[in-house]
Amino acid sequence: MTQLTAPLRASDRPRKDVEPRRSLLLLLAVATGLSCAGNYVAQPLLDLISRELHLGSVLAGLLVTASQAGYALGLLLLVPLGDVVDRRRLAVTLFSATALFLTVSALASSGPVLLASTVLTALASVGAQVVVAHAATLATAENRGRAVALVMSGVLLGGLLARTAAGGLSELGGWRTPYAVLAVLMAGAALTLHRRLPRLPVSADLPYPALLRSTFALLREEPVLRRRALLGALSLASYSTQLTALTFLLSGAPFHWSAPAIGLFGLVGAVGVLTMTFAARLSDRGHVQKVTGVATVLLLAGWLILLAGERSLLWLAVGVVALNIGQQAVLNSSQTVIYGLRPEARNRINSAFSTSFFLGGTVGSALASLVWAAAGWPGVSTLGAALAAGAVGVWLWERTRD
């Protein structure tokens, strides 16, 4: 039976010469945030892009889908490489490629060019996940949860802040400006990682096809990874249901909010990011199951609160905060668990988990759109609560195996 807290192995023991300082972890958090931001730049700019490049609504909408598809491919095809090549070189290469593809987007003269560069940007942006796994390896087992939480906070804040920043920058110089600014920042991040990111020995020696096969084999061989992947998928599906339907709710009666106002309201989700370190400390102290249990119950409770938010902005805000805190705690506690399974396969484990995680989010968004059209906010709340209840069920199932 696989244990949730794996014994320390030689590669997992404290390394005083390598253990990352907080300044390095903060740098990695900023870098990962910039990397992920490129996947959200287009969302508030679709109308501007559509008008200038003469795109139809279908092609403009495909820009968002292209980001999701490119990121999913990157998680599957590129992240596992961190186990067989120099991880620092891989991260720097992916960050540099992201800067290049963002530049192509900023200069795009047609919809097909922008669509292609969007896919490639998202594909390369998984460099953020390579950096997260690197931070987990640099940290000792006793501090891994906090190290991962700090770096992951950059990933999550990058997604939250990118939409608002892109809207503001587009007011200054058009829709191309956010792409150009982010390209420059990503180039700077690549250079900084080259100078500051410590080197670590390669942990595996596998040809690429075998590497991909072993990623899927890990899901078969590690029951804890399977359960945590399912738990992550259900939790993000529940959370993404809210993200998608919230725009529909706030743009209609009784709120009638504009798109910029809706984007600013989404920033209340930053509260969830601020709680990640606290949850990580509890996980590092051996309370990972309690953290996960409380987080999944909070997801479920958040949807009960959101049901009352259909006509109350206060209840809506409280429910959104509850979902954000629950979602971030599920993610961090799950990463604490899976990164303790096989140190030599951390990138492949991260690839398997993150692919399941983000696929869950994509399914949640798609279901939310369908349910909103058929049953409105009450139907969406029921869907979100059902997905959250599924997450609670997976946690209870895991408790019986612990």
pLDDT band at residue 4 using 50, 70 and 90 as cut-offs: very low
Q: Which residues contact 67 (CB under 8 A, 6 or more apart)?
A: 39, 40, 42, 118, 119, 121, 122
pLDDT by residue (tens digit) across 292-308? 999 999 999 999 999 98
> Could you identify the residue written with the tokens 């909010």?
257
Could you give phi then psi for residue 78, rounded to 5 degrees? Answer: -110, -40
Of 259, 318, 260, 300, residue with least CA distance to 391: 300
Taking the whole predicted model, whether its pTM rises above 0.95 is answered as: no
Which amino acid is located at 18 in the chain? V
pLDDT (average), residues 322-327: 92
Q: Which of 160-174, 217-231, 341-355 has the lowest mean pLDDT?
A: 160-174
| Whole-angstrom distance, CA of residue 146 vs CA of residue 150 | 6
Q: What pLDDT sits at residue 244?
A: 76
> Does the pLDDT of residue 2 top 50, yes or no?
no
Across the chain, mean pLDDT equals 86
CA dihedral 251, 378, 246, 383 (to 10 degrees): -150
Q: What pLDDT sits at residue 365?
A: 82
Q: What pLDDT sits at residue 13?
A: 42
Output the six-digit token pair for 343.
């140190």
